[in-house]
Structure 1
Amino acid sequence: MANEPSRITDNLLNVYNYCFVETVPYAFFKPNPERDIPVKLVDKEYHCKACGKVTNVRYNPRPLTYFSKGKLAQQRRVYDALGKEFPFMGQIQAGTPFTNEAVGLCRACAAEKVLTAKTPAQQVVNLSEQLHRADELVVAKARAAMEKALTDWLAEVEKPEAFLSYNLTDFAALRDFICAVMLEDTSAEKAILQAYREEIGAIETKLQRMLAELPEQWKAYAARSTAVFESMNDKMYHEYTVVFPAPGQLPEDYYIYRNIEKKRVLMFLEQPRVETLDELFMEVGFHGEWIDLVTKRLESLAQEEE
């Protein structure tokens, strides 16, 4: 197991976001007064058009964020739809705090109106979200199983002397010891991997069949977490155009009606996924918390002997 997770899961997340969440690519950016407008952007409001719920998300403070004219015009239309007064350009230029607005469906309303949809256009997005969640969960489940193997082994140790033969004098020795304990019985991880492969195989088959019947582009609802970054440029993202939610806020999913491109869905579908047990272990990686479990058990055993 590596000290850091490998790139399969990271890549899948990046491609999923590119397909369904933040769909503009990264690019070099130099502010141009003719097309880019500096705005004091402070927060975002998500409005559920079904139940009226409003979720406010504070952004990390920054002096200015550059909007493209197209993105700002889009915001004006959303303000108008919500019946809110859009600030004058003079107010924006003077640094009046600005709220980014979005209209969609909260998770509860989407469960009734979107996630049960029977149309292929929406089902493709829903199945892609299921595939994404399966990609994330297989690693989380494997890590939980590995940690259970370690804690079960530690619970059976009755005296600190039991650790002496392992010569746990440095990080490498501790890491190798922990990995050996976790890999002694991998039946749980094998079962997790098999269930994952069966689940995604069924999803991939459905997606391939439905995509063959859809046009190159269509509109559907796609989940957007309130915790993800967002670019205020409708063509690209860059440090000058992107904003991040402030930490300490509970993330929620809002479903936004947006353009979906077949080629991007296919890109996500065709990405390499975890296939082998070795790849799964590489995705989990090695975590410092596991060393803490060992040291805490050693400390508790030492205290019991006093």
Structure 2
Amino acid sequence: MTEQLTWSTEQRNPDTMAIDTLPSEGIVELVVAADAGVAAAVAAQTAHIAAAVDLAVAALSAGGRIHYVGAGTSGRLGVLDAVELYPTYRAGDETVVAHLAGGLDAMMRAAEGAEDDVDAGAALVDDAGDHDLFVGIAASGRTPFVRGALEAARARGLATVLVANNPAAPIAEFADVAVLVDTGPEVVTGSTRMKAATAQKMVLNTFSTATMIRLGRTYENLMVNVVATNAKLEKRMVKLVVQAAGVDEALAERLVSEAGDLRVAVIAALSGAEVVQARAAAEQFGPDPQRLGDPSGIRAAVAALQG
């Protein structure tokens, strides 16, 4: 058996051998049925994802950055996760940056050969900080571009994570934490834009969301670091204050406008204090990943103001 056939994502799926003979509904049923098992495969990696979150929290708390590294679909998912963190959690590329083999042009046009460039992956580590974390994303767990980055990061003593869909991923040896989600054969053999990619999206969503929560970017389950980049998000900021404190919309709108900072507005609404006092408390009780139960510091700030 060749090495390629040992990768579960490259094996033929016995349930879909006759998929090309089916009508549309039959094809859709098989695809949906195959996808139904992805969540369980991701859940089986809970402990490893949590360990990766701990590495991310440590890296960011020390002033480092998280680097997503991938090629093709895997790399595009890294870009997607990274860019969505700013409007949601006010975390820009100074916090999480994505590196796609072939550059950002490869987001719109496939650059399949770029994944074989080990040196390009290794070069990503040249300008990394001493506390940075590298997260490789590769369905097969062998992509040379990703290998280059993880191997170089490991050589520098930087923390590393691998997200892959091959339980026997060859480059897992370069990862401090390996999240190996066994999604099995694809409906269409080798088409890892399907189950494998769905699993990777779930892992990255979970990883980045848990990291942001640990860093105090939420209050309860509310986004208190939303950046108002459009009218919809401006309205959402007002709604978030209403949801957090139970105040009326008019007061919430005034506090958001005066504060210019959603976290400060929430503290003012919860405590009944003026915005200037809420701002001072917000600065005193900043987000702290070690403060379990109140990582955002909002509860502590409100308690101090009401003290």
- Identify the TM-score tier after normalising by the shorter chain: under 0.3
More strand by share: 1
Larger Rg: 1
RCO (CA 8 Å, sep 6+): is it higher in 1 or 2? 1
More helix by share: 2
